[in-house]
Homo-oligomer: A and B are copies of this chain.
Amino acid sequence: MGISERKEREKEQRKNDIIDAAEKIFFKKGLNNSTMDEVAKEAELSKGTLYLYFKSKEEIYFEIKLRAINILNRMFKESISEYKTGFENCFEIGKTYVAFLNNYSNYFKVMVYFESTDCKICDFKDKCENFFKEDNPLNSFIQIINQGMADGSIRNDIPANVLAQSLWAQTNGILQYISTKQKIIEFTGVQAKDIINSQFEIIKKGIKNEN
């Protein structure tokens, strides 16, 4: 028994090592400009071995996305406080998401990638599609909106599920814009943080309970 457990651990460790190596390469050169040979070299393994642990290049990239989501979710959970209202926690989460973009922009880019690319043959689609049933940032956020509706700090004429997804999607949009449209932002002579603050301003007015 002890042996098969150890094997399992080692296998997990090996997978992690490969993802570590892939991260280094992909973050430096971008997914499209990185080759599996480079990843193999970085991981000090042969290319064939990579395919013993992962089905495809894209699946490794997906594993990086999972890391990203876990980091973000952990940050979310650390940022909320039971002593604050749902309304306040909501903006703590917002600020935290912005911090995530600033501190982990590479991870953010990976997340964005999977929002918009047609995966070739997504054999790991199940992983993709079942993910939302689990503990993830969006679910953490929905809970906060529920809290805010329960404590009366957030308007409750829109279902929590709907409001949460709407805010979530909006915020994703803002962060994606900030991270990909620096040139435009610069050209229009404004600051990224102003755009973010502006969104917070709008949402503050937009979701506060007025009763």
Contact = CB atoms under 8 A, between A and B. Distances in A.
A159 B203 contact: no
Question: Main SS of the interface on chain A?
Answer: helix
Nearest to A198: B166
Given A158-B201, A188-B161, A118 B31 contact: yes
Contacts of A194: 159, 162
Given A116-B115, A117-B117, A168 B177 contact: yes
B165 A169 contact: no
Given A165-B190, A198-B163, A207-B202, A33 B174 contact: no
Give the number of times this chain occurs in the complex, counting copies.
2
Contact of A169 (B176, B183, B187, B188): B176
A120 interface: yes
Contacts of A115: 112, 116, 176, 180
A184 interface: yes
Nearest to A133: B187
A58 B100 CA distance: 30
Given A170-B173, A187-B133, A162 B195 contact: yes
B190 A132 contact: no
B198 A162 contact: yes
